[in-house]
Chains A and B, each alone.
Chain A
């Protein structure tokens, strides 16, 4: 049934993913203290940034609509997951952060976070997606701000139960918030979530849904005239994207000791900012999921090494001064990418394992065409 090598491609990708998964777990599980203190927490951060960038790419790269409130969905997911886990803990469903009972709660809170964010995605998407371009950007930006304020003012998120605007230290002790040991122990959950989410997103964009939403991006009028129910597919994509952002929120709640709404706010100066997620998508290439994965990891590493890296101290003094303003560095990086690779670091195709044998040919073709171009110029 699955003819012309599709089955083989699926198999190769599956095996490669499985090997990567097991290898990562073995290496991280047996590492020393450095592994535990910095590498594994970094992997957790990468995990949620990857899903975040890829899910925004569905809306921005495939559907072609600029949404600036993506972190709002993540906040909803994070708080839902944290509160669900706390509720189960207070009901006495689990005592310690181990065992089957906790695992069930963990999985439930991840899924529930996604579903709740998706519900909100429908609610926001139906009115918002009637607008286009700048107007949509503004309305989603507003949504991101509203969410933060709403969470701040919900009694059981804010003042009474968990402290003003945060699910505070209680989360660390009893809820999802993992210590470094637990991050190693539950690394498989994070990795598996990323793998599953990315696979589902690939399945989504490589089906009639993907075709329909890319057609909307390329030409909305023609798409509608080809019988595509434009509004339906827009809201659907927004919802799917919100679902994955919610899942991201659950991972965020796991990897942080406390939740504070300021970390999802638009004014948040760190890497976790709706605009920064947009930058990841643009750098990685709009409409290329693998690009988003690579860009999320690269930008995270850039962010991490600017903060903690020894190499910054080794630079000449005037450059060091530049690096005290990390946002400036990201902007320069973004400008460089836009100038030299306007389609993103991936160029114009997805990374595929099965294409690696063809790379040599592509490179030769590329250099040949460049050479030909130069010669043409010389003749003129």
Chain B
């Protein structure tokens, strides 16, 4: 009997209601490392709400999120990140007045050991850690093809590269699960293709689990191994891309009956 892979991220009966509105209910998903899962659904179906639940922005009214089998109930957003859940945003949220490399270095903050005294008096430890961090940040920028833009202000990057910088910053948190919220939104086909290559490299070289929200169906069908579809906060289908494409419920949700 083959040993079943243990999921990195798992949810059990996750749900949240705002007042009387059940935005998401009974959401179950499990992702193993190295897996790329797509989360799709019509507008307003609750996809981003699911992301907010998975990253601790919203506190679920029912159910739990488990990371490597450990429940993350009651933790704050930055503790979710420390545990290993990183995300990007649907509408880009970069640190505009900081340089590209600083944007990535912010994500290292929680891993830096030096304290106030080291910073104030510039101890050797400070220089050692800063140098190591610069090197690591440059490696991550290289993966996303931004190494020659390191000292440019983040706000002056073109749109596609801002998206990539967000991914680089998420990678810098040293996560086990990466949540990408519409990474290809507003991109032209060339940029989308580049992004696709970037995502594939990340998955192969980091061996992490990726959960992807996306409206670009060709992208979803191409890269995702499994797809979960939600509508009105309820999971209506999940399975392989080919199955999903032919599922009558999904077609009905997208096109109407």
Instruction: Check B102–A211 contact: CB distance below 8 A.
Output: yes
Instruction: Check B95–A225 contact: CB distance below 8 A.
Output: no
Residue of A nearest to B175 (CB): A227
Instruction: Check B127–A2 contact: CB distance below 8 A.
Output: yes
Which one of A105-113, A215-223, A245-253, A299-307 contacts B?
Answer: A215-223
Residue of A nearest to B105 (CB): A211
Among A3, A207, A214, A224, contact of B97 (Cβ-Cβ < 8 Å): A214
What are the residues of chain A within 8 A of B108 when measuring CB–CB? 208
What are the residues of chain B within 8 A of A219 when measuring CB–CB? 93-96
Instruction: Check B127–A1 contact: CB distance below 8 A.
Output: yes
Number of interface residues of B (CB under 8 A): 41
Instruction: Check A227–B119 contact: CB distance below 8 A.
Output: no
| A203, CB-defined interface residue at 8 Å | yes
Give Cα A1 to B128, complex, Å. 8
Give Cα A204 to B121, complex, Å. 10
Known: A218-B95, A222-B94, A223-B95. A212 touches B106 (CB 8 A): yes
Name A322-336 residues within 8 Å CB distance of B.
Answer: none
Smallest distance from the beta carbon of B82 to chain A beta carbons, Å? 6
Name B63-116 residues within 8 Å CB distance of A.
Answer: 76-78, 81-82, 86-87, 89, 93-98, 102-103, 105-110, 112, 114, 116
* Chain A interface, DSSP helix/strand/loop, else mixed: helix
| B169, CB-defined interface residue at 8 Å | yes
Smallest distance from the beta carbon of B135 to chain A beta carbons, Å? 12
| A308, CB-defined interface residue at 8 Å | no
Give Cα A1 to B105, complex, Å. 20
Residue of A nearest to B89 (CB): A222
| A287, CB-defined interface residue at 8 Å | yes
> What would 18 A/B residue contacts be, using CB atoms closer than 8 Å?
A1-B131, A200-B120, A203-B122, A207-B119, A207-B130, A208-B109, A208-B112, A209-B116, A211-B106, A217-B97, A221-B57, A225-B93, A226-B81, A226-B169, A227-B78, A227-B107, A227-B109, A228-B110
Instruction: Please give 4 more A-B residue pairs, beta carbons under 8 A apart, in addition to A204-B116, A227-B110.
Output: A204-B120, A225-B86, A226-B86, A227-B81
